Chain A
Amino acid sequence: MAASDVKLLGARPSPFVNRVQFALNLKSIDHEFIPQNLAEKSELLLKSNPVHKKVPVLIHGDQPISESLVIVQYIDEVWSGPPSLLPSDPYDRATARFWAAYIDEKWFPLVRDLRNATDEQSKAAAVEKLFEGLKLLEDAFVNSSNGKGFFGGEKLGYLDIVLGCYLGWVRAGEIFTGLKILDETKTPALVGWAERFASHKAVDGVIPEPEELVNLIKMFQARAAAAAADASTK
């Protein structure tokens, strides 16, 4: 399939975009990455994802697919050769989907809460909640990996992609707050997993360096402060 048949509309710092990149890399799918300016959205993006107007969007031929988890499942079904991303057993798939929803809806928002926490007390409270979530994910990892290196077992799978895409922002959150999130004394299995994940060839080079993400955090915070100051003087 020619590279131009598969296009990914994305933005490098977005973990949701990174997920799709991991999946494309794991399946060795040639594709064209079309970076998007999220402050001024392109016609192509608005046309391809009119409901959410967000990245990532995968365009296969002329058909757009949106929502990172939907895209990853689509990739797994269309390019169905190895490696399989989702498990083959329906119950294992249900378990994987459950944890994916938990990670996206419950756990990662806690990282955002930590980034937005302004005083030491709320930072500490946010970190505590993160640890509770990570303990659950540590157990999920132990159950899912069956003694092997990844959630998917010997190979990277769906849950590795779903959680792994956040590692850059987790590291950035640690640098920004000076607090540890992935702590080998608390979640040793996940710490080991994170190192293996980050050095996998399908992942290498996809997630921006934490320092770049820290700068983005500082920029978001400055913008939010400016908007708040603006609003209070009106």
Chain B
Amino acid sequence: MAKEDVLLLDFWVSPFCSRVKIALAEKGVAYQQRGEDIFGGKSELLLKSNPIYQKVPVLLHDGKPMCESTNIVHYIDETWPSPPLLPASAYDRARARFWADFIDKKLFDAGGNIWKTKGEDQAAAKKELIQILKYLEGGLGDKDYFGGDSFGFVDIIAIPLTTWFFAYEKFGNFNVEEECPKFAAWTKRCLGRESVAKTLPDPQQVLEFVSMMRKMHGIE
């Protein structure tokens, strides 16, 4: 496949963009990447491709735009079937979609509430995040990855969000590994994977970005 056929509109710190990059790497799909200036001015192409949300990631395949990261990962899995990201059985696929939906609805917002607030609100947000991670530990069970022996769909949906945990821990004053050791072990396992290690930004840089956002929001 020619490189120009697949284009990703990207922002370096976005865990949602990372999901798409990891999925494409797992499939061995060559693509072009264009960094968006989220604060300075979004490109014409982004605004035209995603008029409703005006957000990254946007994947353009043969010029056809797709939005929403979980949706895009689904598309990548269906369009380049090998190796499969979703499990084989319909029930396991339903479980994978359930966890992806849970992560999408809960995890990033809970983390956001930690760095955006202080005092009682922050304590409540921390509690919520830990509860979410405990649910995810339940979903993982004794398996190496959410889908079983192989790295797959839910792992891709979840792992990029962990790059923000260092920032949550700093501002929330807690430690994910102490509270959820199984989740921390899964995180390390995924980070050992080439597609993940090469894609994810350094948590220290994410922390600096979040610090900047806090200042912008007037939180101190």
Contacts and interface: CB of A to CB of B under 8 A. Distances in A.
Q: Sorted from nearest, which 4 A-B pairs have the closest CB atoms? A: A90-B78, A74-B94, A94-B75, A77-B90
A110 B61 CA distance: 32
A112 interface: no
B71 A98 contact: yes
Nearest to B132: A51
Contact of B78 (A65, A69, A93, A101): A93
B68 interface: yes
A66 B97 CA distance: 10
26 contacts: A51-B135, A63-B91, A65-B91, A65-B94, A67-B97, A67-B98, A67-B101, A69-B97, A69-B101, A70-B94, A70-B101, A73-B97, A74-B90, A74-B93, A74-B94, A77-B93, A90-B75, A90-B78, A90-B79, A91-B75, A93-B78, A94-B71, A97-B68, A98-B66, A101-B71, A106-B52
A71 B94 contact: yes
B64 interface: yes
B72 A94 contact: yes
A94 B93 contact: no
Interface in A54-94: 60, 63, 65-67, 69-71, 73-74, 77-78, 90-91, 93-94
Contacts of A94: 66, 71-72, 74-75
A124 interface: no
> Which of A65, A94, A106, A136 has the most chain B CB within a 10 Å cutoff?
A94
A98 B67 contact: yes
Interface residues of A, number: 24
A90 B98 CA distance: 20
A220 interface: no
A71 B90 CA distance: 10
A77 B96 CA distance: 14
Contacts of B74: 93-94, 97
Interface in B153-182: none
A91 B60 CA distance: 11
Contacts of A78: 90
Contact of A70 (B61, B64, B78, B97): B97
Contacts of B78: 90, 93
Interface string A158-201: 00000000000000000000000000000000000000000000
Interface string B78-96: 1100000000001101100
Interface in A82-139: 90-91, 93-95, 97-98, 101-102, 106, 136
B52 A93 contact: no
A123 B38 CA distance: 34
Interface in B93-124: 93-94, 97-98, 101-102
Given A74-B90, A94-B75, 15 more contacts: A63-B91, A65-B94, A66-B98, A67-B97, A67-B101, A70-B97, A70-B98, A73-B94, A77-B93, A91-B66, A93-B75, A93-B78, A95-B66, A97-B71, A136-B52
A90 to B, nearest CB: 4
Contacts of A74: 90-91, 93-94
Contacts of A51: 102, 135
Contacts of B64: 91
Nearest to A102: B52
A171 B120 CA distance: 41
A71 B95 CA distance: 10
Contacts of A63: 91
Contacts of B93: 73-74, 77
B180 to A, nearest CB: 16
Interface string B28-70: 0000000000000000000000001000000001001011100
Given A67-B97, A67-B101, A98-B68, A91 B90 contact: no
A79 to B, nearest CB: 10
